[in-house]
Amino acid sequence: MPYSAEISRSNPSCFIFLIDQSGSMDEVMNPQDATPLDRPIQQDGNTYTHSATGKTKAQTVADIINRLLQNLIIKCAKSEGVRDFFQVGVIGYGGGDARSDGVGPAFGGALVGRDLVHISELANSPSRIDERAKKVDDGAGGLVEQKIKFPIWFDAVCTGGTPMCAAIKYAHTLLADWTSQHPSSFPPICINITDGASTDGDPTSVASQLTSLATADGNVLFLNIHITTKQGAPVEFPDSDALLTDSNAKLLFGISSVLPTLMQTIARQEGLQVSPASRGFAFNADLVSLIRFLDIGTRASNLR
């Protein structure tokens, strides 16, 4: 059965996050929120708050990616330390630096310039530690705010165009090497988070080349999240593009991988309606759906 390989230190897997850092990511994520509001967001059994007072799409995505990296580290933590079950890469694409094609590693601190890092390296090398708010049960049916340490590996950037094709090609180069070195591993998962159209061409062909890479356990999975500032319910894991009115969303749906059985099962457990034809795609993702999508996309079983 594909996508069932055991994940271990000797047989790790890999995540790559492609993050749109274009100028349009400077737009406010939820412009309809005109007043300060602490939103309780459930993740991994905890309740967190998110300020809805003018956070941009770039800032929101950075917060969620940093929290996701922290959760991946926790999943790999054992009594003797963090086990290297995964290698992780965060690749930014936009016009924010001197990169010739606008694409490159987005880690900060000691990991600057690194493409893929072992999860234990990630645990030991945050660029800084911020203080954030967390809501916890007060024992009387309410919630109280608690300050927690929040490690930061990746900061928000938003300027320039959207060289999505170049970003996917970059991921292809990394994963071509990775799959050749780990031929029996659980296939890598590449997750692209963007708010708009590719400015360097149609990504269909390069996405097909990316998902043609494989290990003995299956092809590389390519998942896409299209975030917008539009009103309306998010569309998560659709099995057709019939409900998608945006041409860019239709294109991203078309290049997204069909969910393997493992992810279908997890999505159903989260109360989502999925079918054998459902794809790893979300449109008009709000904060809650963005967190849920990434959680499902990165929740691996068979860790040893």
DSSP 54: S
Query: C-alpha angle 44/45/46, rounded to 5°?
Result: 95
Q: Of the spans 26-35, 70-79, 92-101, 293-302, which averages the highest pLDDT?
A: 70-79
Least confident of 15-29, 84-98, 128-142: 128-142
Q: For residue 286, give both structure tokens.
A: 């709000």
Mean pLDDT of 272-298: 90
Q: Which CATH number fits domain 13-298: 3.40.630.10, 3.65.10.10, 3.40.50.410, 3.40.50.800?
A: 3.40.50.410
Contacts 24+ apart (CB under 8 A), 45-54: 46/134, 46/136, 47/134, 47/135, 47/136, 47/143, 48/132, 48/133, 48/134, 48/135, 49/133, 49/134, 49/135, 49/145, 50/287, 54/28
Query: Structure pTM?
Result: 0.89
CA distance 144 to 147: 10
Pairing of strands 13-20, 189-194: parallel
Confidence category of residue 302, pLDDT binned at 50, 70, 90:
low
Is the confidence at residue 24, as pLDDT, over 80? yes
Q: By C-alpha distance, which of 283, 273, 192, 290 is closest to 243?
A: 283
Mean pLDDT of 49-74: 83
CB atoms under 10 Å from CB of 141, counted, come to 6
Judged by DSSP in three states, 59 sits in: helix
CA distance 227 to 111: 27
Mean pLDDT of 201-207: 97
